[in-house]
Structure 1
């Protein structure tokens, strides 16, 4: 089924899928209203839903939430004609199984749809780059709270050094090193060294 308030696009997509991929896809219905999305899924027992994110007044994310809450087995591909990466991320968090920009060629949609139907996920390369970049950046508040000595300690700790080695490298006593490690873990908001090392890896601290 297709949820899109741009009727020309929705009709064109239906014609394309029916004409060129009719052996794989049957369009069970279309709607231009977010409020009708979940009901339409039920009425046509849809395996797949294609949802446009820019649909006033509630928006496509609301449609995705409604569909997934009532029909969790239905797979969803979110589409957007805007460059709003935050909206795309919200769609994925709401339960969408894939996201693509509407700038993709219409005839290139069939394979991603088949991939999603098979239980895998599909994400637009631009969004994927943004998501990967954002997950590598530690919260600004964390970095602001760290001193150069903290960053050095974080690096040493994350490479697996024992307290005695850290003390020797930082020219402090072992007792002082223990206090420094405890303080660092508190600043990072983690409970142990393994979690601190994982955060360092995600944040790019160890890249150099």
Structure 2
């Protein structure tokens, strides 16, 4: 009987070992599945992280560009703050120039003209203090950036494409043309 008990015991041990092997195999398979799933999840999370980082860097670059543009706009606004005022004053300055070209023998009128000339010089000085200057034209080569040709003539002894007469003065504010000079150009 001992043999049969031992045989039954051996059978039980063998079936327990088989079950243990099966359990170990299924645990290993389950662990492998979990590992594969964890690796897939890691790859997915790394891709999402890369996308978020990329978006962050783009947003940071956009923000830096926005800040730079705002700073440049502010600097430009400050640099050219007087442009509108200067543009509005130019017709009055032109009228002063025409009035100062009058010739008179009357002493009273001469003193009025002297006062007007003082006001005119004061206006020009104020423009200069703001960075505005008259554009030189007569005797200079025609430059379409700063001159507006309204006539062309042929003058002996003057090179081609040279300004021979100025009809209206042009003005430049720092590096920006406020009004081009109206000129007559030699052919």
TM-score (norm 1): 0.17
* Greater RCO, 1 or 2 (C-alpha within 8 Å, sep 6+): 2
Greater fraction of residues in helix: 2
Q: Determine which structure has more spread, i.e. the larger CA radius of gyration.
A: 2
Greater fraction of residues in strand: 2
TM-score (norm 2): 0.19
